[in-house]
Amino acid sequence: MIDRFLHWRWLAAALLLVSVAALSPGLQRAMVPDNALSVWFLETDPQLKAYHAFQAHFGNDEVILLSVTEADGIFTPTALARLDRLQQGLTEISGIERVISILSIQDLVDTPQGLSYQALLPRPFPSAQPELDLVRDQATQSLVFLDRLINTDATQAMFWIQMSVMADIDTHRDGIVSAVAELADRELGELPHPMGGIGVIYSALNVITQHDFGLFIGLGYLIMFVMLWWIFRSVRLVLAAVGVIVLGNLASLGVYGLLGYQINMVTVVLPLLIVVLGIADAVHFPAMFFQVLAHDAGLSRYQQVKKTLQIVWKPCLLTTLTTMAGFLALASSPMKVIRDLGIFAAIGIFVSLLASVVLMTLAFFGFHAEAKVPKHRWLKRFLTFMQTQVSQHRLAFGLLSLLLGSMAAWGACLVQVDTYTIGYLPDHHRVVRDHLALESTWGSYAVVDFLIHPAEGSSMEDHELLNGMERFIAAARQMPEVRNGFSLATIYRRMNQVIGADKPVDEAWRADEIAQLSLVIESEDFDWNRKNPEFADNVLAPFTNQDKSLGRLILIGAMQSAKQLERLLGQAEQMAREAMGDIATIEAAGYPPLYVRIIDYVMRSQIRSFFLALAFIFALMLLWLRSLRLALISLVPNVFPVLVIMGVMGAFGIDLDVATATVAAIVMGIAIDDTVHFLHHWRLAEKTAPIGKRPCKEPFELPACPPWPLPCFCWWAFRFSCWRG
């Protein structure tokens, strides 16, 4: 087999290059960042389906919030003219469904002809300040405007910029957010105008993902180039190693893009993983080649290359398969991004092995006859020293390893599962600064949606249900995380306020009152219905569907981590059940439930992938070593680094989140490489030992891998359980 490959090595190289080149068209799509919800959840996920259903009823909840501060007040001719230009510019941006502000939303007015919904500000805008002061008083007294579109002293206005529901929103989001920011900067200049919202955070993550993608690749190749040159002192081998990583990355990202995937904040590490894991084989092949050169200088170059491949091919194949198994275990994750990382990392690692065999073989044949073997005397002295120390002080190293393991286990118990999306951005990022500015000036602004399902035989206009919604909002506002709430009852309260009914805000609704107000809204004589025949334009549309069989309730509160939000939703749903009783059922809707679901998915991903990877590795080691004893031993040095990294995370307060959910599989995938080569050397030592069963006390040559604690664990396992023969 090896002879045939060596004979056709140039053809093999050509086939490899052509195959990888055929995948290159997928790179263009793969390198466009996408951090939307659709990349985190499987299309079959019930929670994602519920999210899409919510959007079908109430539109896209990716709202861009833009706050504008005018020190002299919003209701001045200069300020209103500036805001009007901004409003007009926003509505012209492609991908914006609607812009809700004091300039666009209409308020209920009692006219001689009856109730009418009219623009708060008539056009042209009043130029006299007394007239504007009257409009200001109307706005700050309206339940529809206050704390939603304007603050109490009318110095801040909030624009709610709702994106359209689009199948390809991920392609357009960055452009929409960028266009809004550029327009706001141009029209508002030095005026404070922070932006916030889900869409803004998604877009920022896309930008930083693209930046990190280039940074990771650049640093990965630079470090690899420097290290390989230092180790082998050969431009030919460095170029071959670079070729290995390039081909591995091109294959992985090419397939990734051709299947319609795009990089995100999790898969952005894919190229770096392939650099780190793929380079292992690219190092083992020349390392063995130089050993063959040193010990078998009399052989022909063909025989030297053949012997190199005979020695190193099997352990490198096993390290690749076990590493692939560790990453393929991530395919069991319920999170789409983690599945993608595992599957496509495995593809890149396998292609890297093929490229290592082909390109390193070509490089070996290119060496001149008197090729010198690089000498790293201090490294050899260090390895020899560690080999001696581990061999002579096994008890001390064993106790130290157990102590380290115990400390790591303690730290691992402290690890918290949580995720905070905006926390992935650096503190100096504009989105973070704007978020802090919004919370300090306007107040909490994050939206938490709830869907309300009236009981059978009831509807959203049932007075008991309206009373229940108001009780719920009042109870929720007692929580420090919630600032305000809006529902269908808010519209009715405003109508009651306008018609001059002497009814306290906290007084419960009566059935006859709601029936009277409903008749007004649904009347064909009501000018709102004449001007807006489509229900989507109806004043009630944001809070209920057309047949009143489904409702929406909005809480405004602080932006929180997934764990904090989970606790908030749990408390809110309990309050809702107490407030509404059997009148209706309520459930969290929109983006927050998906955000909360991430916690559960992260934990399940970590547990599933860890034990599945462990099972895969054990099975492969058992097949290769044909020894239950050695297969069991191999698990110890693979579990230990996972325990240590978890311990470090717990000790330093690093949460287990979407960015670290793959840490166990990644660490195990890296650790297995050293384990395989260590056991390969041990197996060779066993074969050369005298026949007969006896304890393994004699020292043996350690491979060039981390000298501790991996060998220490193996030494103690061998000491009590192994024999030669």
CB 605 within 8 A of CB 334: yes
CB 448 within 8 A of CB 568: yes
Measured from the Cβ of residue 116, the count of other Cβ atoms closer than 10 Å reads: 17
Longest dimension (CA), the chain: 111
What SS3 state is found at 375?
A: coil
pLDDT means per 10 residues, the chain with 725 residues, are 89 93 88 73 82 85 92 92 94 91 80 72 86 89 86 93 81 88 93 91 80 70 77 81 89 91 81 80 82 83 90 86 84 83 91 92 80 70 82 84 87 86 87 93 91 90 90 92 90 78 71 77 55 60 85 92 90 90 90 83 79 83 80 83 88 81 75 79 70 44 42 46 38
State how far the Cα of 650 lies from the Cα of 415, in Å rounded to an integer: 4
The dihedral built from the CA positions of residue 220, 223, 224 and 225, taken in this order, carries a sign that is positive
Task: Please give the pLDDT value at position 374.
Answer: 67
* Ranges for all domains in the chain classified under CATH 1.20.1640.10: 2-36+205-420+598-721
Q: Which long-range contacts (CB under 8 A, 24 or more apart) does 269-273 make?
A: 269/216, 269/341, 270/341, 270/344, 270/345, 270/348, 271/213, 271/216, 271/217, 271/220, 272/216, 272/217, 272/219, 272/220, 273/345, 273/348, 273/666
Measured from the Cβ of residue 527, the count of other Cβ atoms closer than 10 Å reads: 15
Q: How far apart are the first and last CA of the chain?
A: 29
* Fold observed for domain 2-36+205-420+598-721: Multidrug efflux transporter AcrB transmembrane fold (1.20.1640)
- For 640, residues 6+ apart whose C-beta sits below 8 A from its C-beta are 401, 405, 408, 671, 709, 710, 713
State how far the Cα of 701 lies from the Cα of 464, in Å rounded to an integer: 82
Measured from the Cβ of residue 449, the count of other Cβ atoms closer than 10 Å reads: 18
State how far the Cα of 106 lies from the Cα of 142, in Å rounded to an integer: 11
Q: Is 262 exposed, middle or buried (0-12, 13-18, 19+ CB in 10 A)?
A: buried
Q: What is the DSSP string of 117-179?
A: EEESS-SSPP-SHHHHHHHHHHHHH-TTTBTTTB-TTS-EEEEEEEEP--TTHHHHHHHHHHH
Measured from the Cβ of residue 608, the count of other Cβ atoms closer than 10 Å reads: 18
Residue carrying the six token digits 């022909």: 300
Measured from the Cβ of residue 522, the count of other Cβ atoms closer than 10 Å reads: 12
**DSSP, res 707:** -
Q: Assess if CATH 3.40.980.10 describes domain 446-558+560-589.
A: no
Strand-pair partners of 335: 41
CB 251 within 8 A of CB 30: no
Omega before 695 within 30 of 0, i.e. cis: no
Structure tokens at 512: 């006859």
- For 631, residues 6+ apart whose C-beta sits below 8 A from its C-beta are 618, 621, 622, 625
Strand-pair partners of 66: 159, 195
* Ranges for all domains in the chain classified under CATH 3.30.70.1430: 446-558+560-589
Strand-pair partners of 450: 553, 588
Task: Please give the pLDDT value at position 216.
Answer: 67
SS3 annotation, 429-481 = CHHHHHHHHHHHHCCCCEEEEEEEEECCCCCCCCHHHHHHHHHHHHHHCCCCC
Q: Is 540 exposed, middle or buried (0-12, 13-18, 19+ CB in 10 A)?
A: buried
Strand-pair partners of 648: none
State how far the Cα of 47 lies from the Cα of 61, in Å rounded to an integer: 15
What SS3 state is found at 372?
A: coil
Strand-pair partners of 702: none
The 10s digit of each residue's pLDDT in 70-99 is 999 999 999 999 999 999 999 999 999 889
Distances in Å between the alpha carbon of 223 and those of 216, 217, 274? 11, 10, 14
Q: Is 369 exposed, middle or buried (0-12, 13-18, 19+ CB in 10 A)?
A: exposed
Structure tokens at 324: 């692939």
What SS3 state is found at 501?
A: coil
Q: What is the DSSP string of 250-296?
A: HHHHHHHHHTT----TTGGGHHHHHHHHHHHHHHHHHHHHHHHHHH-
State how far the Cα of 179 lies from the Cα of 66, in Å rounded to an integer: 13
Q: Which CATH number fits domain 63-105+133-196: 1.10.10, 3.30.70, 1.20.81, 1.10.287?
A: 3.30.70
Task: Please give the pLDDT value at position 699.
Answer: 41
Task: Please give the pLDDT value at position 693.
Answer: 46
Prediction pTM value: 0.76
- For 408, residues 6+ apart whose C-beta sits below 8 A from its C-beta are 640, 643, 644, 646, 647, 648
State how far the Cα of 234 lies from the Cα of 622, in Å rounded to an integer: 37
